[in-house]
Structure 1
Amino acid sequence: MSISIQNVCWSAGDTMIVDGVSLNVAAGKTLGLLGPNGSGKSSLLRLICRLRQVKSGVIKLGESDISTMARPEIARRLALVEQQATTDAEITVKDAVRLGRTPHRGALSPWDARDEAAVNAALGQVGMTSKATQLWRTLSGGERQRTHIARALAQTPTELLLDEPTNHLDIQHQLELLDLVTRLPVTSVIALHDLNLAAMFCDSLAVLQGGRVVAVGPPETVLTETLVRDVFGVRARIEKSAVHGRHHIQYFVG
C-alpha cells in the first residue's frame, strides 16, 4: 500500500515541528527521511502511525485516511521501530518478538501455527534465531535493535516505519538490515543519519530542515554538495560509486 502525506502540520506548544509536509511513497518502495537533529523526522513517523494527531493536513495509507481508521486496523498493517524502544520486563528474545503478533489475535485467540511461523521467520531474517531463548536484559545494544526489528517483521506489516534503525549496529549488520528491509514486499519510510546508506538503499529521499521538506526525489538528484553544505553544515564531494552505482559522499573538515 502507498503512503500519502498532504500538507501535514504538527506543533508542540507554540513551536511548529512538522510544517506543511507533503510526500508520497509508492507501494513497495522505500523513502529515506534525512535531516539534522530536530528537523522533524521522528515526529513525522509518529504522525504517520497516528501516535500523534496532525494539527492540519491528511495522511493516507492507500486510499484510507488514517484519521478515520480504527487503531487495531492501523496496528495490523503498519509497524513502527522506534529509536529508544525498551522494556524492563524479564522476557526472552522470542517473547519480545511474539508481541508483534498481538494486533492479529483476539483476546482469547490461541497461539497457532501461523503465529509461530511468523515469529520464527522474523528471528531468522534478522539473525537472532540462536538468541531466541536469551533474556532481553542480557542483549547488546545491537542485538536489542535487531530484536525490535524482528518484532516489527512478525507483525507482517504492509507499511513499515523505522526511526534510525542502524543505531547501535556494526557496519555488517547495518548493511544486512537495510538490504533486508528494502527487499521486503512492504512500503517503507526510514529515518537515517547516514547519507551514504540512504543513497545506497532508498528508492527516494526527502530532506527535512526546520520541519519543512527542502528536497525530495531520487538520491542522485537530492544529494548534492550544495544541499549537504546548506542543510548539514559540512563540505562534501559527491561521486558515483563504482561498486553499487549510487552516489557516494566524502566529507571534509574546514
Structure 2
Amino acid sequence: MTISTHNVSFAVGNTVIVDGVNLAIEKGKTLGLLGPNGSGKSSLLRLIGRLRKVKSGVIRLGDHSIADLSRGDLARRVALVEQHATTDTQLTVMDVARLGRTPHRGLLPLSSAGDDAIVLGALARVGMKERAAQLWHTLSGGERQRVHIARALAQTPSELLLDEPTNHLDIQHQLDILGLVSKLDITCIVALHDLNLAAMFCDRLAVLNKGQLVAIGAPEEVLTKTLIADVFEVDAHVERSPIHGRCHVQYLLA
C-alpha cells in the first residue's frame, strides 16, 4: 500500500469533520472518494497532503508516517490539486505549470531545460501545450483547472490527490481528465460528486458520510441502491453497463 490512514480524525473546534477513517490504497490504483457535501472528502485529502493536522490517528506513505517526512520530501512525493486553487493572474500558463518543479529545484531560482521539458510534457497531457505562452487569467475556469492538473503532473509525484478535478469542465474534458488520471502509473485519490464517472474510472470507491467511512470496495460492491438511498438520499436503479462493463446509476424521479 502506498497511502493508508489509521483511525484518522480531524476536528474544527468541537465539530468533528473526519471521524476515525481507516483506508488503504494500492500502488498505481485510483481510489474515488465519494460523499455528500460536508462529508469530509476535501478535509481528508488535505490531511493526507499535510495541509491540515490530524487530531488523532496516523497517515502513512508506504512505511513512513507523513508526520516524520520533511516538507520537501512530502512535496516531491505527493501532489494536490484543490477545488479552488488560485494563482497570480500575471503569470503565463507555462509559469503556473512550472510551479510543479519547485520541490525539485531546492534553492535554485531558475528552471532547467530538463524542467521545462517535463512541464511541456505535462501541459501536453492535459491538452494545454499550445497555450503555454497565454496569460493564465485569460483562460476559462475549466482551462485553469487543466493547467493546475498539469502543474501537479509536472511535480512528477508518486501519489496524486485531486479534489473535484472535473468542476467547471465540459463533458468531453471531464472524460479526458478522468481517463488521463485513471491511466497514470501512480497512486491517485480523487474526490468526485458524479457517481457514474467514479464508477467508470476508479478502481475502488470509498464513501464518506458525516466524516465516517461507510463503504469501500470495487464500484459494483459499493454503489448499491441501499447505499445511494442511505447516503445521498435519492432513489436509484443500479445496473452493469453493457458498453463499458462498469456499474451505472440511474436516478429515479419521485
**Could you state the TM-score of these two structures normalised by the residue count of structure 1?**
0.98
Question: What CA distance in whole angstroms lies between the structure 1 residues aligned with 2:100 and 2:87?
Answer: 14
Structure 1 residue 110 displacement after superposition: 4.3
Question: What CA distance in whole angstroms lies between the structure 2 residues aligned with 1:63 and 1:100?
Answer: 25
Question: What CA distance in whole angstroms lies between the structure 2 residues aligned with 1:153 and 1:131?
Answer: 17
Structure 1 residue 148 displacement after superposition: 0.4
Question: What CA distance in whole angstroms lies between the structure 1 residues aligned with 2:191 and 2:152?
Answer: 16
Question: What CA distance in whole angstroms lies between the structure 1 residues aligned with 2:167 and 2:13?
Answer: 29
Give the residue type in structure 2 aligned to 1:158: S
Question: What CA distance in whole angstroms lies between the structure 2 residues aligned with 1:183 and 1:156?
Answer: 15
Question: What CA distance in whole angstroms lies between the structure 2 residues aligned with 1:164 and 1:253?
Answer: 26
Question: What CA distance in whole angstroms lies between the structure 1 residues aligned with 2:107 and 2:88?
Answer: 23
Aligned length: 254
Give the residue type in structure 2 aligned to 1:162: L
Can you list the C-alpha shifts for 1:162-206, whole angstroms capped at 9, x where unaligned? 000000001111011111011111100000000000000101000
Task: Confirm whether residue 7 of structure 1 aligns to residue 7 of structure 2.
Answer: yes
SS at structure 2 position matched to 1:85: coil
Matches within 5 A, 1:64-79: 64-79=64-79
SS at structure 2 position matched to 1:54: coil
In the alignment, structure 2 segments of 5+ residues that lack a partner are none
4+ residue segments displaced more than 2 Å: 108-111
Question: What CA distance in whole angstroms lies between the structure 1 residues aligned with 2:89 and 2:194?
Answer: 32
Structure 1 residue 231 displacement after superposition: 0.5
**Partner residue in 2 for 1:194:** 194
Can you list the C-alpha shifts for 1:77-110, whole angstroms capped at 9, x where unaligned? 1000000001243010010000000000021364
Give the residue type in structure 2 aligned to 1:56: S
**Could you state the TM-score of these two structures normalised by the residue count of structure 2?**
0.98
SS at structure 2 position matched to 1:230: helix
**Partner residue in 2 for 1:159:** 159
**Partner residue in 1 for 2:132:** 132
**Partner residue in 1 for 2:106:** 106
Question: What CA distance in whole angstroms lies between the structure 1 residues aligned with 2:80 and 2:108?
Answer: 25
Question: What CA distance in whole angstroms lies between the structure 2 residues aligned with 1:127 and 1:110?
Answer: 25
Kept in 1: contact 2:33–2:208 (CA 8 A): yes
In the alignment, structure 1 segments of 5+ residues that lack a partner are none
Deviates more, 1:79-88 or 1:157-166: 79-88
Matches within 5 A, 1:1-254: 2-108=2-108, 110-254=110-254
Question: What CA distance in whole angstroms lies between the structure 1 residues aligned with 2:154 and 2:88?
Answer: 21
SS at structure 1 position matched to 2:178: helix
SS at structure 1 position matched to 2:153: helix
Can you list the C-alpha shifts for 1:91-133, whole angstroms capped at 9, x where unaligned? 1001000000000002136422220111010010000011111
SS at structure 2 position matched to 1:67: helix
Structure 1 residue 213 displacement after superposition: 0.5
